[in-house]
Amino acid sequence: MKTDVMMENILLQAALEAGEKIMSVFRTNFDVDYKNDASPVTVADQAGEAIILEHLQEHWPDIPVVAEEAVSAGDVPDISGGRFFLVDPLDGTKEFVNRREDFTVNIALVEAGTPVAGIVYAPAKGVAYRTTEGGAEKLTIIDGKAVQTASIACRVRQGAMTAVASRSFNTPETDAYLKEIGATHIVSVGSSLKFCLLADGTADVYPRMGRTMEWDTAAGDAVLRAAGGMTYDPEGLPFSYGKTGQQHDSDFANPHFIAWGKAEIAAAFSNAI
């Protein structure tokens, strides 16, 4: 295993290279196909994933990788060792297809069910968020290189509560919950950037009463936790990863969750979901 700093840099390089390839597709008139679950997929998803897998295989050949497109093709690794990577090469494909900029490259390392390291890169926006040895940081990316970094942390809410919600997959249950907790300002955004807006102190809460997969959430969740927040499951427990053999859903499918910008805020909403 590389040192933490080396891992940070390798994951960053993998994300940047994948993002460069994704943007080269974004600028063209690309075709859109659909998987068995009716979700869209493009050559950008596949090419970005190949780049990331190459980096991970080179540096950590003994750590299994659960990657969205590979799993969709039936390639599901054994994660019984408890440590594995989760990869979504293009989170927010629907945003990508609709020519919106809030799509991301997600890479996360999970240990014993907890996302302990990760990066979220939004190539069209020129910004990345990642875990560090001492917390979390936001990076400004220009021409494929990080030109500025700044430490980030979740804010302590004062006054009105700001929530983030899915742009493409919002639900009536989510709207009802936001009304229940008194969220007065709602920011709609796609992809795992919702976690990052909590991590950098822009917003306070992100409820998701809809289906997601672990590769959708792990990287953003890792950044959020490193910045002082937490994601909770319907039982009020810290959200876990590596969910296989589920009776009522497929492997790696998530239940509903609520992510909070400051973990201690959730104590006031213990019956949240």
> Which of 152, 172, 198 lies at the terminal end of a domain, its last residue?
152
Instruction: Return the structure tokens found at 15.
Output: 């994300």
Query: 45 a known binding residue?
Result: no
Is 135 flagged in the annotation as binding?
A: no
- Does 168 share its domain with 265? yes
Tell me: do 17 and 126 sit in the same domain. Answer: yes
Are 153 and 131 within 8 A, CB to CB? no
Residues 105 and 68 in one domain: yes
Task: Please check if 140 is assigned to a binding site.
Answer: no
Question: For 64-125, where are the E strands, in sequence order?
Answer: 65-67, 83-91, 104-111, 114-122
Q: What is the pLDDT of residue 15?
A: 98
Mean pLDDT of the chain: 92
pLDDT value, residue 164 = 94
Same domain, 126 and 195: no
Whether residue 135 sits in one domain with residue 18: yes
Of 134, 152, 170, the last residue of a domain is 152
- Are 205 and 135 part of one and the same domain? no
Say if residue 136 is in the same domain as residue 18: yes
The answer to the question of whether 92 is labelled as a binding residue is yes
134 and 37: one domain?
yes
Residue 18 has pLDDT above 90, yes or no: yes
Of 152, 186, 212, the domain-final residue? 152
The more confident residue out of 273 and 142 is 142
pLDDT for 41 equals: 87
Is 88 known as a binding-site position? yes
Residues 50 and 77 in one domain: yes
Instruction: List the structure tokens of 88.
Output: 């979504």
CATH code of the domain containing 260: 3.40.190.80
Residues 58, 89 share a domain: yes
Least confident of 6-15, 107-116, 173-182, 217-226: 173-182
CATH number for the domain spanning 26: value is 3.30.540.10
Same structural domain, 137 and 13: yes
Concatenating the DSSP letter of every residue in 132-167 gives ETTEEEEEEEETTEEEEEEEE-PPPP-SSEEEEEES
Nearest to 210 by CA among 230, 194, 224, 196: 194
**Domain limits at 53?**
4-152
For β-strands 257-260 and 230-232, DSSP reports them as antiparallel
* CA-angle at 199, arms to 114 and 4, nearest 5°: 50
pLDDT bucket at 171, cuts 50 / 70 / 90: confident
202-239 per-position pLDDT tens digit: 999 999 998 899 999 999 999 999 999 999 998 889 99
d(CA 164, CA 194): 6
State yes or no: 54 annotated in a binding site. no
Give the pLDDT band of residue 38 (cuts 50, 70, 90): confident
Number of compact structural domains in the chain: 2
Mean pLDDT, residues 147-156: 95
Say whether both 119 and 17 belong to one domain. yes
* In the predicted structure, residue 1 carries a pLDDT above the cut 80: no
Residue 90 marked in a binding site: yes
pTM of the model: 0.94
60-98 confidence digits (pLDDT tens) = 999 999 999 999 999 999 999 999 999 999 999 889 999
Model confidence at 263, in pLDDT bands (50, 70, 90)? confident
